[in-house]
């Protein structure tokens, strides 16, 4: 990740923290304050309607998120705070502003990625590090594009190509650093543990590659 030379004294936000990996990493690097956010109740996730069919009643306690974060925070002696927060609802009047925002594999799971990025921009007074899946660049096309991910069982909505992702950031008010801002572009996550067919699909971008971008 393209961390700044020092996080000392910075107020940092980890969006979609899950178990807190990136939140604890920012704290380890000297962040002055770390806020970790996620949606505790899966019933509130921005998932396709077909994935919600048949679900009735309150969510069982064992399916709620946050427990593993608290266990890890206690074991590490972490002071990072955990908030039940939807990315769409980020508000500088409520959440304040952050010097560094990390958003890992969240954008692709949003029904409205531009609205999500605009909410992130409203609380970001410094840099955003965005880690997400991208499709093949398709540089021969005249405009940036995004693919609607219609794979059965998938949680993702839109997978941008690299140019499309850069354009989405700009439309939300960010400006990628160092030209395109793309500092990593590799086969998808856990590709080394997948079948040869899956490795090829990730490697050629059919199932997507992982890109990390820093923007201001």
Per-residue confidence band for 96, with pLDDT thresholds at 50, 70 and 90: very high
27: number of Cβ within 10 Å:
23
Q: Which domain holds residue 121?
A: 11-215
Q: What integer pLDDT is reported at residue 78 of this predicted model?
A: 97
Full 3-state SS string of 11-39: EEEEECCCCCHHHHHHHHCCECEEEEEEC
Residue 3: inside a domain? no
CATH assignment at residue 71: 3.40.50.150
Q: What integer pLDDT is reported at residue 142 of this predicted model?
A: 58
pLDDT, tens digit (0-9, with 9 covering 90-100), for 11-44 = 999 999 999 999 999 999 999 999 999 999 888 8
Residue 173: inside a domain? yes
Structural domains in the chain (count): 1
pLDDT > 90 in the chain, percent = 52
Residue 184, token pair as written in the block? 């990593």
Per-residue confidence band for 83, with pLDDT thresholds at 50, 70 and 90: very high
More confident residue, 142 or 165: 165
Task: Look at the block and give the residue holding tokens 């178990």.
Answer: 19
Residue 5: inside a domain? no
Rounded to two decimals, the pTM is 0.86
Could you say which DSSP state residue 43 is in? G
Cα distance between residue 92 and residue 129, in whole Å = 18
- What kind and span of H or E run contains 203? helix 196-203
- What kind and span of H or E run contains 211? strand 209-215
**Rounded average pLDDT over 147-168:** 79
Residue 1: inside a domain? no
Residue 6: inside a domain? no
DSSP string of 65-108?
Answer: SSHHHHHHHHHHT---EEEE--GGG--HHHH--EEEEEEES-GG
Mean pLDDT estimate for the chain:
84
Residue 43: inside a domain? yes
More confident residue, 176 or 204: 176
């Amino acid at each position: 990740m393209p961390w700044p030379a020092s996080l000392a004294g910075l107020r940092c936000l980890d969006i979609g923290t899950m178990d807190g990996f990136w939140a604890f990493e920012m704290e380890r690097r000297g962040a002055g304050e770390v806020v970790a956010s996620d949606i505790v109740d899966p019933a509130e996730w921005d998932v396709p309607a077909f994935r919600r069919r048949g679900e009735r009643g309150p969510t069982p306690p064992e399916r709620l998120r946050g427990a593993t974060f608290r266990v890890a925070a206690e074991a590490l002696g972490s002071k990072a705070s955990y908030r039940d927060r939807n990315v769409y609802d980020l508000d500088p009047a409520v959440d304040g502003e952050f010097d560094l925002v990390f958003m890992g594999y969240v954008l692709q799971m949003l029904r409205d990625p531009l609205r999500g990025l605009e909410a992130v921009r409203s609380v970001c007074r410094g840099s955003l590090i965005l880690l997400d899946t991208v499709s093949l660049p398709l540089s021969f096309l005249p405009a940036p594009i995004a693919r609607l991910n219609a794979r059965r069982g998938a949680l993702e909505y839109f997978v941008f190509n690299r140019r499309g992702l850069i354009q989405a950031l700009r439309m939300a008010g960010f400006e990628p650093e160092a030209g395109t801002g793309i500092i990593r572009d590799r086969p998808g996550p856990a590709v080394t543990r997948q079948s040869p067919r899956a490795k090829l699909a990730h490697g050629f971008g059919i199932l997507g590659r992982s890109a990390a971008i820093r923007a201001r």
